[in-house]
Chains A and B, each alone.
Chain A
């Protein structure tokens, strides 16, 4: 007989609880691991991305000098005054100069031409790293003669080789080398604007160094002494501010490049996080089923004297352990994947990345995996505390579920805070994190709501007249312990991501393709000087091509806004507290208005892409009266100018005052010239100007012939071929799309794992029912039909819901962001719907096959 004294304060024996957790898991380990496998891919994605970020940051730090190629770069977008040029020629210990601008290159061998970025270089730039060429010495020797280094992709595209000739402007150059690597340039930027290097000394002879060409002037410097660089920058500060010169050092480049890749990393991390969240739903749902199955064992332990806390700890230990194993597997997989990321993102990165194992990324992945698995399992785990020992003697006993558990609400709060906190860490802003949470909530909420609605509809649609197999298949969707909502959310969300991606890609392509429709121009010629205008128009017509529009462009700068000069407004900015913000120095909203050159036009009437949103449009003014300008709405906002304000424009030396008469909304997406500043007629007609001509070429051959003729007769004129733009855009979207699909793939695969684990989790219950049906005489075929029907419906509901959401999202993006129409093709949508549905059905059938591998007696005996 035991001691009659009761010991209430029993000490918790943790080592025994660990032992019990181990013992209790014995027959469930593979299932527990399957539950947790839902988070493996999410963790893998995040670890890979974190490791990539760490490696990228380290390599940016290590290769920052190779990125800039110099210790200091001074840049101007307008011609540098002689006196300033003299100063710039005296600083630094080694110097190089470059002029860069867009122009046409003409391949003499095959009479083909293309818009390129010309870099006219003088000096031994880069001082760090190298311009990668083939042959390797071409970078150091090309300046010795009339040679050019041509982008290797461009050479391939136009079938040119080293030794061939190209024509830039009025001058021919021999191709001295194929350009493989340019400091600070990524694959994407070279695809958009391929680079051709020529020696600076020949620039003038090309005839391209004229008004109208948008030339960027760069001065490269090497300093052997960092102190001297700092002193030089300090000394040059006022001059750079006055002359509107920008500068870049290794430090600013490092920070800038890091910032640029933050966005990419944020996108990647958030994509991984979505996959992880999806997996967490799987974990939460699987643990719920698991705990339900453990109800009897827990009740028995409670009868034997285990208190609620101890029972809770046993299952907590199990979840933390499998969460850790899942995170470990995810971290290992992520570490493997990270080595593939540089290849995936190679086109976006301007440096060479040496991938190494990142222990901090692995550590973050492990902590994240355990914390998130635990958080999402806790709502179900907390139920363990409420399992009554009465369940041991009365299986039907329902614990006081109706009473809400305040601890559960605390856990839900923690889940929300965790998601919010994580989003904040990735996005770096409270508002952005809030938007992300809102978007996730809307997606999850919509899927949840739609799945509930569809379950209700399914229930209502069921008719007694239907065959038993159909009714049973339908009923499985809403019977107790069904996985319908969870599966629809998981599969639906993956479907939404993939389908949305596809739709947006189609919208973008359609939008550009629309521009190439018959009534739209598909070739733009710019930098046409006044004297060339008529001749070019005539030549265009001779090629049987229409002159669809010829728009004048006048370059100018702003001298004053409402009587205040740039310097005065800069003081106003500094008084407004923006002095200490480096990014704002000289770049205040008003200060910005004075920087750079404005390309304005004049016209009598609004174009179809313009709409007046404030003030009144004035088509023309009488000679001698005050000029009236119309500003693009967002530009006016940026420079803080309103209707009635006066602006003093400097039109190549002549000061022209103008009053802001109207603000316009401009559809920049149209294939036509649009301007931020438009003068009414009667003011600028006599000003020095050049123009833009738009035409439509019917074929590639006609385009090549026309371009060749233009480049030969008017070497200063540049052309944009829409066909080429489409091709570049297609390439770009393909590359970006691949990265996005790769990340969405994690969500898709996670969705599939969640589906697998949900099917496995509910296998016990299925087994019972199936065995009963088999005992009652159902054939294997009939049972297979019931299971197939259930998963067919489930797949249909999930994919339909996902596609509907994706369509809604695509419509919103098309309407509000891209200002395009959205009309998806039916066939791809149907194909996608069928593919997802079949995948779900086959997975369901495949996993249920094990039910048939056991005899009914075996299972009935186990159950009893």
Chain B
């Protein structure tokens, strides 16, 4: 199987006036295409930082991150934006829907950015898949938390990404809604054959992934795909 994400000796150090803060320290792992990986760990362990680096939202202080065989370290911010638009999908804990856009328009954004002509039709299909076609013209404020996350899911899959990053996708939802969303994520993922990286401290959710990487204090303390001593 092809390696879609390759993280090699990645460190992230925040330099403040007084001292250097190492958030990630020499982290290495790789993910094969179509795999589902959960990154878990306590608060402050570096999960979100790692997700940001893997998704090309930030740059590592040391080491390399290769996404789809492309070294993110050598790409400019605009090139990384193009890469995100064409190959990456995102699901956020707080949904991050654009409040001034309707549900349909939110889903259309990645498609329109790529200049796809029938963006509206494709977006409508995706909304239909998440069961929200009837709410297409509603603004985020008119939707419940679960509905907002479903719109977010439709948006994440709209550009047919190679890899999907989900940051605590159920963190803001009740248990019942969470279950529905998780089911939807894994179903859509399976149907699309997308690689899924979930950052969560919900062990139940993590257990649904094929592989779990545990972080603590900025280092990997366990990876279910590798034997750690």
Chain A positions within 8 Å of B, measured between CB atoms, are 1-4, 6-8, 10-11, 13, 16, 19-20, 23-28, 296-297, 299-310, 388-390, 392-394, 862, 864
Contact = CB atoms under 8 A, between A and B. Distances in A.
| Listed residue (A16, A299, A306) with the most chain B CB atoms within 10 angstroms of its CB | A306
Given A300-B98, A304-B113, A304-B155, A2 B82 contact: no
12 contacts: A1-B160, A2-B87, A3-B86, A10-B85, A13-B115, A16-B113, A300-B92, A303-B57, A304-B85, A305-B113, A392-B57, A393-B51
Contact of B99 (A11, A16, A27, A864): A27
Interface string B199-227: 00000000000000000000000000000
Nearest to B195: A1
Given A8-B79, A304-B85, A390 B115 contact: no
Contacts of B58: 388, 390
A4 B162 contact: yes
Interface stretch (B35-43, B104-112, B127-135, B174-182): B104-112
B184 interface: no
A393 B194 CA distance: 21
Nearest to B79: A8
A784 B132 CA distance: 43
A309 B58 CA distance: 18
Interface in B54-87: 55, 57-58, 68, 70, 77-79, 81-87
Contact of B81 (A23, A302, A392): A302
Contacts of B101: 23-24, 26
The number of chain B residues touching the other chain, given as a range, is 35 or more
Given A1-B194, A10-B115, A310-B113, 16 more contacts: A2-B86, A6-B79, A6-B86, A10-B82, A10-B85, A10-B113, A20-B109, A20-B112, A24-B101, A296-B96, A304-B110, A304-B113, A304-B155, A306-B109, A389-B57, A862-B141
B192 interface: yes
B147 interface: no
Q: Across chains A and B, which 9 residue pairs bring their CB atoms closest together, nearest first?
A: A305-B85, A307-B78, A300-B96, A307-B81, A389-B57, A305-B84, A26-B100, A2-B160, A390-B57
B100 A297 contact: yes
Contacts of B81: 302, 305-308, 389
Contacts of B57: 303, 388-390, 392-393
B48 interface: yes
A439 B133 CA distance: 61
Interface of B: 48, 51-52, 55, 57-58, 68, 70, 77-79, 81-88, 90, 92-93, 96-101, 105, 109-110, 112-115, 139, 141, 155, 159-162, 167, 172, 192-194
A541 to B, nearest CB: 87
Nearest to B84: A305
B78 A304 contact: no
B52 A6 contact: no
A8 B77 CA distance: 11
B17 to A, nearest CB: 10
A24 B162 contact: no
Contact of A303 (B86, B96, B194): B96
Nearest to A385: B77
Contacts of A26: 100-101
Contact of A11 (B85, B109, B115, B160): B115
Indicate the member of A13, A26, A300, A394 with the most B CB atoms within 10 Å: A300
Given A10-B115, A307-B78, A307-B82, A390 B52 contact: yes
A307 B75 CA distance: 13
A23 to B, nearest CB: 5
A393 B92 contact: yes
Contacts of B109: 20, 301, 304, 306
Given A304-B113, A392-B90, A4 B68 contact: yes
Contacts of B52: 390, 393-394
Nearest to B115: A13
A191 to B, nearest CB: 60
B38 to A, nearest CB: 16
A396 to B, nearest CB: 11
A748 to B, nearest CB: 35
Residue with the highest number of chain B CB atoms closer than 10 Å, among A296, A297, A304, A390: A304
B78 to A, nearest CB: 4
B98 A16 contact: no
Nearest to B33: A1
Contacts of A8: 78-79, 82
Contacts of A20: 109, 112
Contacts of B85: 10, 304-306
Contact of B192 (A1, A11, A23, A310): A1
Nearest to A300: B96
Contacts of B114: 10, 305
A532 to B, nearest CB: 88
A390 B57 CA distance: 6
B113 A7 contact: no
Contact of A392 (B96, B112, B160, B192): B96
Contacts of A388: 57-58
Contacts of B79: 6, 8
A2 B96 contact: no
A17 to B, nearest CB: 10
Contacts of B193: 1
A296 B82 CA distance: 19
A20 B162 CA distance: 26
A1 B57 CA distance: 21
Nearest to B96: A300
A302 B48 CA distance: 17
A307 B101 CA distance: 19
A309 B110 contact: no
Contacts of B90: 303-304, 392
A301 B141 contact: no
Contacts of A7: 82, 86
Contacts of B83: 6, 305
Contacts of B100: 23-28, 297
Given A7-B82, A305-B110, A393-B48, A1 B162 contact: yes
